[in-house]
Structure 1
Amino acid sequence: MVYSHDGFGLGNIRRMLAICTHLLDSIPELSILVISGSPMLHSFRLPKRLDYIKLPCLNRGTSGEMSVKYLGTEIEETVKLRSELILSAIANFKPDIFLVDKKPYGIRNELKAAIEYLKTKLTETSLILLLRDILDHRDVTIPEWQKHGNNEAIHRFYDRVLVVGTPEIFDIRQEYQLPPMVAEKVQFCGYIRTELGRKSPNLIRSELRLSPEEQFILVTPGGGEDGYRLIDTYLSSLVLLPDSYKFRSLIICGPEMPLEHQASLQRKAAAYPQVQIGEFTDDLMSYIATADAVVAMGGYNTTCEILSAGKPAVVVPRIKPSREQCIRAEHLSKLGILAAIHPNDLTPDILLRSLLQQLQTPQISFSTINMDGLPKISQYISALLAKKKSVSSFCYKSPEQLPELMMIAKIV
């Protein structure tokens, strides 16, 4: 069973679905039940042997405060509803492994009842916490973890903490001052490599009617809830583009961008015949692989896609409600992997100059960055399941237990 932390954007559910898909491809006879409040779950192509339970949506806006996204209910009663749905799913599905995204106790501690149930009723279930490379600035993360008792929860309940990142770029053990009892459970898996999309670059260029001399620029703010300014600034920058450059731009607003913002950008984009604008694609990697350069916010998934495709990129990271994107962009910028612009410094002129510089600068090799996140996670979970199966088989065949097993069978 997989619990996907949700609250802002599409990043968490996209990352967890990528992990689930790889697990299903690499481990025979595996079934996965995903529990998430993401409003976009139905828009993704879901593999066989995976299903999901959709929880009522919560939303963490740019202020960081959690609220109910759609239902006209109070946050406390909605969290209680979600918690009871999760507990019921755990009790009936009886997972061998419970993979939890980001928060040891879930959003607003909604996993506490389920974790207590697992530890008293389903004691053979292994709990694994999955963390992305960076959570937030240490001044925020350390006191937050202390407040919510996350280190104690990991020590008491979790078998392993899998980190989809590398200590060379960001070592959460040191940055967040993890105590030894927690740090020893941390396993760095590497970043998540994204496979090439379903369409070839030649097909994408044909569909977009790109001429040979045109450079293709992809603009994506991820989920799009706070992506209006990035796209608006990019459109304004096109006025400054020298005549010697021939750009064809595809802008993906993101499904969570407010409709009034989408409409405003559609009107502005209409003045640029070389710009196409859309809301969402479940095959973003096909367009990233085709692009000559990418202009994006700095979410984990988008960054991994840029690294996987080896594309020049200009990243304008989000700085609230979390500074995670900004920290990641700064680290990668120092390595020469991409160009980063702090949102406080974002202007059409600065954005265009950074983009043109990225197009003209030879890209350094990305091969030094560990991108083995998916196979490493799969190897660990596969080994854990094999161990469980071996123990189960041994227990069943143990002569000492045969009389007890025969008695149980007779009763049944």
Structure 2
Amino acid sequence: MRLMVYSHDTFGLGNIRRMLAICKYLLDSIPDISIVLVSGSPVIHSFRLHPRLDYIKLPCIGRDQEGKLSAKYLRTSTEKTIRLRSELIKTTAVHFKPDLLLVDKKPYGLQNELKETLTYLNACKPETKLVLLLRDILDRSEVTISEWEKNQYYQAIEWFYDRILVVGMAEVFDVVKEYNFSQTIVKKVKFCGYIRRELGLKSGSTIRKELQIEPSEKLVLVTPGGGEDGYRLIDTYLQGFSSQTSHTRIKSLIVSGPEMPFSQKEALSRVAKNNPNFRICEFTDDIISYMEAADTIVSMAGYNTICEILSLSKRAVVVPRTQPVQEQLIRAQRMSSFGLFRFIHPESLTPENLLETVVEQLNRTSKHLLPLSCLDLDALPRIEQELSQLYFGNMAWKPSPMERKEEDLQHLILGSIN
């Protein structure tokens, strides 16, 4: 089985971490599978990759907090950078000849950079099965529907894709209803549940020993994910705990994230170094080991972080990002209403209420949440099952463009060119 994976990456670590977890599971579960991952993530080389996973690195596209895109490192226009990425993706498909293409989040890719590849596969290799992977929540319903209509994503799914795999639960957020999927699209949708995270490389006790945490002390892990917009959360946390003398038995490990601007990391380090209860580092590719060691976690509400918290059944205080999309805010609101963690809206965030909420969590008698029997965390085996079924031909044969009506084919080609 030859699987090509496209990872949409412009902001943070969420997409690449999710796709790497899927790739690892597939490589461990399916004999003789070959996977090539195509990604623009600027930190993909920092992760511990599966020894049988290879990747094509695309030029980086960055996105600011308002959502504006631009070339991150190259001194070229956004349009030229997207064109270069598009050519690299198509060239990979032409020569790798995938049996399946797994696309993350955007049916046509970032700035429609997948259009030529999809059109090529449909015309020249129609037996290739196309699968769209959607996280549990994209954005507010009206925003997502408007974007999908503008970019013709609904038509793209109807024309090109064989499956839509949603790594979430309809009980938390029903993308079918929220995003107004047609009946044609609904038939392709499979809710797979959330992604259970594997245990880390080290035990919690080993981590606590390395950090010199005494049995009588509490450990708080503070992590804003990639860190591009994590400064306020960490700064607020440091302000709250720096002024307290009554919480000397609380130690804090702060992982700022590799994408936090250097000046902000320096400012946080200056504050942290004056307090022996604070320890700060930039990045670890084994964050889940530190989560296991922690008594409470302070984080944003990114998909991967929340899955890790739930997989470990950990107590947490979550402060979601609200821009440029409200995915994290919706996730935090929905899941906190189920009692899965404590939620503070960023507009209400202060050093005082963050301190109070963290201490409240630390003082709970139970270290872990109650077993989450109602939460489905079996996305990975379901993804493997769906891809295997597609590969072994359990889905209906997808017709080639020559079998379609001439006017529909013309519309397809013109849409691709436009």
User: Bigger CA drift: 98-107 or 232-241?
Assistant: 232-241
Aligned residue in 2 for 1:374: 380
Aligned residue in 2 for 1:203: 206
Q: 1:274 aligns with which of 277, 280, 298?
A: 277
Counterparts of 2:145 and 2:298 in 1: how far apart (Å)?
32
Q: Is the 2:218–2:362 Cα contact (8 Å) retained in structure 1?
A: no
What TM-score results when the alignment is normalised by the length of structure 2? 0.91
Q: 1:75 aligns with which of 78, 88, 93?
A: 78
Q: CA deviation at 1:177?
A: 1.1
Q: SS where residue 32 of structure 2 aligns?
A: coil
Q: Is the 1:336–1:364 Cα contact (8 Å) retained in structure 2?
A: no
Counterparts of 2:391 and 2:348 in 1: how far apart (Å)?
49
Q: SS where residue 236 of structure 1 aligns?
A: helix
User: Bigger CA drift: 99-108 or 349-358?
Assistant: 349-358
Amino acid at match of 2:118: I
Aligned residue in 1 for 2:401: none
2:387 equivalent to 1:384? no
Q: Is the 2:316–2:342 Cα contact (8 Å) retained in structure 1?
A: yes
Aligned residue in 2 for 1:180: 183
Counterparts of 2:35 and 2:101 in 1: how far apart (Å)?
10
Q: CA deviation at 1:320?
A: 0.4
Q: CA deviation at 1:83?
A: 0.4
2:225 equivalent to 1:246? no
Q: CA deviation at 1:343?
A: 0.7
Q: 1:25 aligns with which of 15, 28, 51?
A: 28
Q: SS where residue 392 of structure 2 aligns?
A: helix
Counterparts of 1:10 and 1:262 in 2: how far apart (Å)?
17
Aligned residue in 2 for 1:338: 341
Amino acid at match of 2:93: I
Amino acid at match of 1:189: C
Q: CA deviation at 1:48?
A: 2.4
Counterparts of 2:16 and 2:384 in 1: how far apart (Å)?
18
Amino acid at match of 2:200: G
Please give the per-residue CA displacement for 1:101-122, whole angstroms capped at 9, x wherever unaligned.
0000000000000000000001
2:73 equivalent to 1:36? no
Q: 1:285 aligns with which of 246, 267, 288?
A: 288
Aligned residue in 1 for 2:262: 259
Aligned residue in 2 for 1:398: none
User: Bigger CA drift: 281-290 or 175-184?
Assistant: 175-184
Written as runs of structure 1 = structure 2, the 5 A alignment for 1:3-402 is 3-241=6-244, 243=246, 246-361=249-364, 362=366, 363-387=369-393
Aligned residue in 2 for 1:395: none
Q: Where do 5+ consecutive residues of structure 2 fail to align? A: 398-418
Please give the per-residue CA displacement for 1:72-100, whole angstroms capped at 9, x wherever unaligned.
10011110110001110000000000000
Counterparts of 1:85 and 1:187 in 2: how far apart (Å)?
30
Amino acid at match of 2:230: G
Q: Is the 1:240–1:349 Cα contact (8 Å) retained in structure 2?
A: no
Amino acid at match of 1:271: N
What TM-score results when the alignment is normalised by the length of structure 1? 0.93
Q: Is the 1:134–1:324 Cα contact (8 Å) retained in structure 2?
A: yes
Q: CA deviation at 1:240?
A: 4.8
Counterparts of 1:278 and 1:130 in 2: how far apart (Å)?
32
Q: CA deviation at 1:49?
A: 2.1
Q: Is the 1:227–1:257 Cα contact (8 Å) retained in structure 2?
A: yes
Aligned residue in 2 for 1:396: none
User: Bigger CA drift: 220-229 or 42-51?
Assistant: 42-51
Please give the per-residue CA displacement for 1:120-152, whole angstroms capped at 9, x wherever unaligned.
001110000000000001121010010001111
Q: CA deviation at 1:61?
A: 0.9
Q: Is the 1:30–1:49 Cα contact (8 Å) retained in structure 2?
A: no
Percent of aligned positions that are identical: 55
Please give the per-residue CA displacement for 1:133-173, whole angstroms capped at 9, x wherever unaligned.
00001121010010001111001100000000000000000
Q: Is the 2:242–2:275 Cα contact (8 Å) retained in structure 1?
A: no
Q: Is the 2:129–2:391 Cα contact (8 Å) retained in structure 1?
A: no
Aligned residues: 390
Q: Where do 5+ consecutive residues of structure 1 fail to align? A: 392-412
Amino acid at match of 1:366: L
Residues 331/241 of structure 1: CA separation in 2 closer, same or farther (3 Å cut): farther
Q: Is the 2:224–2:255 Cα contact (8 Å) retained in structure 1?
A: yes
Q: CA deviation at 1:381?
A: 1.2
Counterparts of 1:320 and 1:274 in 2: how far apart (Å)?
31
Counterparts of 1:332 and 1:236 in 2: how far apart (Å)?
27
Q: CA deviation at 1:364?
A: 3.3
Q: SS where residue 387 of structure 1 aligns?
A: coil
Amino acid at match of 1:149: Q
Counterparts of 1:313 and 1:241 in 2: how far apart (Å)?
21
Q: How well do the aligned residues superpose, as a CA RMSD in angstroms?
A: 1.4
